[in-house]
Amino acid sequence: MLTIENLYKSFGKLVAVNDFNLHVKEGETAVLMGPSGCGKSTMIRMINRLIEPDSGTICVSGTEVTKLDLEGLRRVRKRIGFVFQQFNLVGRLTAVENVMLGLVMDGIPRDAAYDKAMKALEKVGLEKRAQHKSAEMSGGQQQRVGIARALAFEPDLMLWDEPTASLDPILVREVLVIMEDLAKYRASSMLVVTHEISFAIHVADRIVLMDKGSIVEEGMPEDVFGHPASHIGQQYKELIEYQQITNARTLNSKNIA
Ligand SMILES: Nc1ncnc2c1ncn2[C@@H]1O[C@H](COP(=O)(O)OP(=O)(O)OP(=O)(O)O)[C@@H](O)[C@H]1O
């Protein structure tokens, strides 16, 4: 489905992604984690060439993305849904108009685009808010419109670059629930960059840990976080244990548990 080989990107002297190799299978959800600045965003943005790699190859559903000209790239990007940290919606347009925008620009007649957009909004539980202006929606709802916009193209591959990072903590859950559902139904393969550890534990088929531009460890969540083989894996394990202990203590002391 997605195969990345020997990917490399530097910004001047700074090597952001170095000899990166990854394979994501059909329907698989892989979660990419690692310390801030280790190259996650640079890596995921190279998959649809929002950032141009210096070298290496990327194949999506058998198409070598790294070889494509602009027209080919335009076609393959339709098969790759991208959800960003920023929603990038047009505030004065309604939810359904925002989702339709890309479809209409792609030449789909307005009626068909409307139907596809409504179907996508249903998948994120926003069909009843379809006619509301996106600027009047909560951050969580706006991000769900952003997800619907990507889903409307029925992509083979969904890329998520910290989709909950700019949300108020109490709105994060509504977006994670949608992502969890999408992963469960395996309509597309997913590569998710996130700092949400509990999402990674519950939803990932595979955790990929990155440090200083390269993968340092990958495997099932229970292995990577339970019996880490890398320094970064060990740090996540300790963080999870710390969170479990402090959560239990806080809940007990407040009589919430
Ligand atoms: N356009 C750019 N020009 C110069 N340096 C860049 C550019 N984009 C990213 N970098 C640098 O490349 C490195 C990797 O950045 P990147 O954003 O990919 O990391 P990240 O793991 O996604 O971090 P975070 O978790 O904080 O989002 C960082 O040192 C960053 O400062």
C-alpha–C-alpha distance, residues 165 and 168, integer Å: 8
Measured from the Cα of 34, ligand 1's closest atom is 21
Is 232 near ligand 1, meaning CB less than 6 Å away?
no
Residue nearest to atom 28 of ligand 1 (CA): 37
Rounded to the nearest angstrom, the distance between the alpha carbon of 43 and the centre of ligand 1 is 9
C-alpha–C-alpha distance, residues 241 and 6, integer Å: 34
C-alpha–C-alpha distance, residues 49 and 60, integer Å: 12
C-alpha–C-alpha distance, residues 111 and 95, integer Å: 16
Rounded to the nearest angstrom, the distance between the alpha carbon of 252 and the centre of ligand 1 is 40
Helices (H), 106-228: 110-123, 139-151, 169-185, 197-203, 221-226
Rounded to the nearest angstrom, the distance between the alpha carbon of 14 and the centre of ligand 1 is 9
| Amino acid at site 161 | D
Is 245 near ligand 1, meaning CB less than 6 Å away?
no
Residue 111 CB-half CA count within 13 A: 0
Rounded to the nearest angstrom, the distance between the alpha carbon of 248 and the centre of ligand 1 is 35
Residue nearest to atom 5 of ligand 1 (CA): 11
| Amino acid at site 79 | R
Can you list the domains of the chain with their CATH numbers? 2-254 (3.40.50.300)
Query: In the chain, what is the straight-line distance between the N-terminal and C-terminal CA atoms, in Å?
Result: 43
Q: What is the pLDDT of residue 252?
A: 77
Is 209 near ligand 1, meaning CB less than 6 Å away?
no
C-alpha–C-alpha distance, residues 192 and 184, integer Å: 14
| Amino acid at site 63 | T
Quick one: which H or E segment has residue 101?
helix 95-105
DSSP line for 17-58: EEEEEEEE-TT-EEEEE-STTSSHHHHHHHHTTSS--SEEEE
Q: What is the pLDDT along the chain (257 residues), one digit of tens a residue?
A: 899 999 999 999 999 999 999 999 999 999 999 999 999 999 999 999 999 999 999 999 999 999 999 999 999 998 999 999 888 899 999 999 999 999 999 999 999 999 999 999 999 999 999 999 999 999 999 999 999 999 999 999 999 999 999 898 888 999 999 999 999 888 789 999 999 998 999 899 999 999 999 999 999 999 999 999 999 999 999 999 988 888 777 777 777 65
Rounded to the nearest angstrom, the distance between the alpha carbon of 15 and the centre of ligand 1 is 10
C-alpha–C-alpha distance, residues 126 and 48, integer Å: 27
Task: Name the residue of 42, 159, 192, 215 whose CB sits within 8 Å of the most ligand 1 atoms, as the mutation to test its pocket.
Answer: 42
Is 16 near ligand 1, meaning CB less than 6 Å away?
yes
Q: What is the pLDDT of residue 185?
A: 84
Asked if 104 and 117 count as a contact pair (C-beta separation under 8 A), the reply is: no
Pairing of strands 214-219, 14-24: unpaired
Q: What is the pLDDT of residue 251?
A: 72
- The complex's ipTM? 0.97
